Amino acid sequence: MKLKGIFVPNVTPFTGQGHIDYDKLGSLVDFWLESGVSGIVVNASTGEAPLLSREERVELIGYVKDRMGGKGRLVAGTGAIGTRETIELTRDAKEAGAEAALVAPPFFYRPSDIEVYRHFSSLLGSVDLPVIFYNVPKFTGYGVPPRVVNRIVDECSNLVGIKDSSGSPGNQAENIRLFGSKISVLSGAADMTLPTLTMGGKGAILAVANAIPETCVALYEAALRGDLEEAGRLQLKVSYVNKVIVREHSQIAAVKAALASLGHPAGVPRRPLRPLPPGEERQVVEEFRQRETL
């Protein structure tokens, strides 16, 4: 499986009562696909996966797959604290129609490098589904060294990619040096999109692509054709919007506010998360609109 291009880790719209709003989700899926993204990642952190039940995760995969109608690749987040649960969620994802799984290392209990290796080896040996390694120190509390991932790549043929959200140029360069010719190296950090592509990476999975999918796709395409001046201009815009919406306690609410300002209502976050207070929402929307001046 070859992964390339821009993928949206989609937001999950909820009603005020905390139910999934499938009507809003369907409209959003149409918006992202019409913008030219290569695929959608359901049940990821931006989609509030930790707040979803196992049954809801399965339902979301099936719904998004049907709505996409084969127009892009469907990836599902299946990471969990324990190895057994991760295997079960990944099997669920395959049965529901996902084409690949995005899996973060175990969190809460910080594992050693050998425990991370054993976790992924067990997973990859137990499922018949391509897997993307998700290096996300912000949420796991630790980064996984590229050498550990490289060992897994060499031993497990169904590890097909890595989403690196460390934001470290050095870390991403080492990923590409060690295994960029074997699997797809993708950026999970908006500011690292162009650097990743110019070093030989294959694309990105970006929360900011929820709100500006066309800009992210245009950045990818400009880099691909070697138009670095245009790619640089678009990277500045992507980084600006990312700064607007990535907030310590309210990133998901900010993404949803930005989408609503475009005429694409995305519901509210699920508790304990909350919508932005009115003043902060106005600020986010005003700053988001300023992207057009860049």
User: Contacts from 215-224 at CB under 8 Å and sequence distance 24+?
Assistant: 215/241, 215/291, 216/6, 216/37, 217/5, 217/6, 217/35, 217/36, 217/37, 219/6, 219/193, 219/194, 220/5, 220/6, 220/193, 223/194, 223/197, 223/198, 224/197
Asked if the peptide bond before residue 272 counts as cis, ω within 30 degrees of 0, the response is yes
**Residue 200: both structure tokens together:** 């030989």
Active-site position among 65, 163, 202, 237: 163
Please report where in the chains the tokens 């010719």 appear, as a residue: 181
Strand partners, 185: 162
Residue tagged active-site, from 63, 117, 134, 220: 134
**In a structure prediction context, what are the per-residue pLDDT tens digits for the chain, which is 294 residues long?**
899 999 999 999 999 999 999 999 999 999 999 999 999 999 999 999 999 999 999 999 999 999 999 999 999 999 999 999 999 999 999 999 999 999 999 998 899 999 999 999 999 999 999 999 999 999 999 999 999 999 999 999 999 999 999 999 999 999 999 999 999 999 999 999 999 999 999 999 999 999 999 999 999 999 999 999 999 999 999 999 999 998 767 899 999 999 999 999 999 999 999 999 999 999 999 999 999 888
Q: Which amino acid is at 92?
A: D
Q: What is the SS3 assignment for 38-83? A: CEEEECCHHHCHHHCCHHHHHHHHHHHHHHHCCCCEEEEECCCCCH
Domain positions in the chain? 5-227
Please say whether the structural domain 5-227 has been given the CATH code 3.20.20.70.
yes
163 is catalytic: yes
The C-alpha atoms of residue 263 and residue 265 are separated, in whole angstroms, by 6
Q: What is the pTM of this model?
A: 0.97
Q: Reduced to 3 DSSP states, what percent helix, strand and coil does the chain have, rounded to the nearest 5?
A: 55, 15, 35
Residue 40: strand pairing partners:
8, 74
The pLDDT assigned to 248 comes to 67
